[in-house]
Amino acid sequence: MEKMYFLIWVLMGLIIMMMGLSVEGVGVNWGTQATHELKPDMVVQLMKENGIQKVKLFDADSSTMSALSGSGIEVMVAIPNNQLADMVDYDRAMQWVRKNVTSYSFNGGVTIKYVAVGNEPFLKSYNNSFLNVTLPALENIQNALNEAGLSSVKATVPLNADVYESPETNPVPSAGIFRPDLSDLMTQIVQFLNKNNAPFTVNIYPFLSLYGNDNFPFDYAFFDGAVNPINDNGILYTNVFDANFDTLVSALKSVGFGNMPILVGEVGWPTDGDKNANLGNALRFYNGLLPRLSSNKGTPLRPGYIEVYLFGLIDEDAKSIAPGNFERHWGIFKYDDCTALGYGSSCNNLDANGNASYAFNMYYQVQNQNDLACNFEGLAMITTQNISTPTCNFIIQINPSYSSYLRPSLVGLFLVTLSIIILL
C-alpha cells in the first residue's frame, strides 16, 4: 500500500471560509520539532497558496531559508537560546549576520524583516541561564545589521508575558510594571529597542492562564464575553488577551516608552493533550481573535492594528511535553501522538485494547511503517481497517521523502480515509 502522511487541516481554513475574513498582517510560527518534517519547499507552497504573508522561524536553517527565497513571504529569522552566548562576541555576531541575513538580502532573495534574538530567554525554568547574554547579543546583532547596511532589519527579543505584572495590591492592567527582578534589565532592553525603532515582542497565551490555575474564570480566556469583567478605572476587560497586552502597555509606559510598537510573537490554542485543549475551544478562541485582528480593534489602551503571529503552523510531535501534553498540539495542521491518550485528551475514551493499538500504531508510524517495527511478540498485526473513532484518529505517516507528493491546503479539507494501523 502506498504510504501516506497524516496531516489534518484544523482551524484556519474553516474560520476564513466561514467568515470571509482578510486578516492583514497575521503571520504564523513555523516550528520543526517533528518526527516527520515536511519539506521546506512544500511548507512555503502551503503558506503561499493560503495567503500567509509572514512567518516567524526559530532558527536560520539553510534549507528553510533557501525555500523562502523568492517567495515574497516576510520572515523573522531567529537565533536559538543556545547560541546567545556566542553572540556576545561582536565578531561572531557579524559572522552570523553575514551568513544568515546578508547572504539572502538580494533582489529575489528572502524578505527578512526581523531577527529574533533568543526565544523567551528569561523563563524562570531557565534559572537565569541567559540573563547576562541576551542584551549584549541583542546589541551586537542590531549593530552588526546596521554596519552591514541592513538597518531596516530589526533585532528583537521574543519574551514570555511573565516579564511584566500588576502588583497584588492593584491587579489591573493600568498598574502594569516590569517584574522587579528584571526591571533594570528590561528597561535597558526597551531603551535599546527604542533607539533602533524595533518592536517589543511578547508571546501571549490565554490557554496557559487557564491551564495553570483551576480558579481562572474559563470564559475570560476567550473573546465572547466574561461574566465578571475586570473594571480598571471604568475600562471593562472581558478577556485575558486584552488585559495582558495592556499590562505590557502600562509597563512600557512606566519606564518612559508607552508608545513603543508591540508585536505579538506567539498566540494560539492547542487542540489536544488537556481537558481544555480541543478543537471546540480552539475554534472558539480563533473565532474571537481573528475578527478582532481583521477589524483593527486593538485593545483599550492600544486601539488599532496589532501585528500577530499565530502559534503555530504545524503540530510538533517531537517537542518536550514537560510543560504539558498539549505542547505538541498547537498547530493549525496537526500530528497525533500518544499524548492524545492522556486525561481529558481526544483518545481518553478508548478501552485497554484501543490504548494499546493506538500506542503500537504510533510507534509503527514514527518508524516509517517499517514492518520490523510491528514486531510486538505477536500482540499486533498490520491491517488496512480504520478503527478511528469520532474523537480519536489513528494516524498514518510517510517517510519524509514522500512528502513532496502531497499538496495540502487550508482551503480544502485533506483527510486520509485508508489507514495502516495496528490492532491487537
Q: Where in the sequence numbering do the catalytic residues fall?
A: 120, 266
Take residue 131 and report the three cell numbers written for it.
540573563
> Is residue 364 helix, strand or coil?
helix
Amino acid at 344: G
> Is residue 400 helix, strand or coil?
helix
Please state, in angstroms and rounded to a whole number, the distance separating the CA atoms of residues 296 and 4.
41
Are the CB atoms for 265 and 116 separated by under 8 Å?
yes
Strand arrangement, sheet containing 307-310: 154-156, 111-117, 74-79, 54-56, 26-29, 307-310, 262-267, 200-203, 158-160
- Terminal C-alpha separation, the chain: 20
Burial of 231 (0-12, 13-18, 19+ CB in 10 A): exposed
Helix (H) or strand (E) holding 68: helix 62-68
**Which of 194, 110, 108, 111 shows the shortest CA–CA distance to 155?**
194
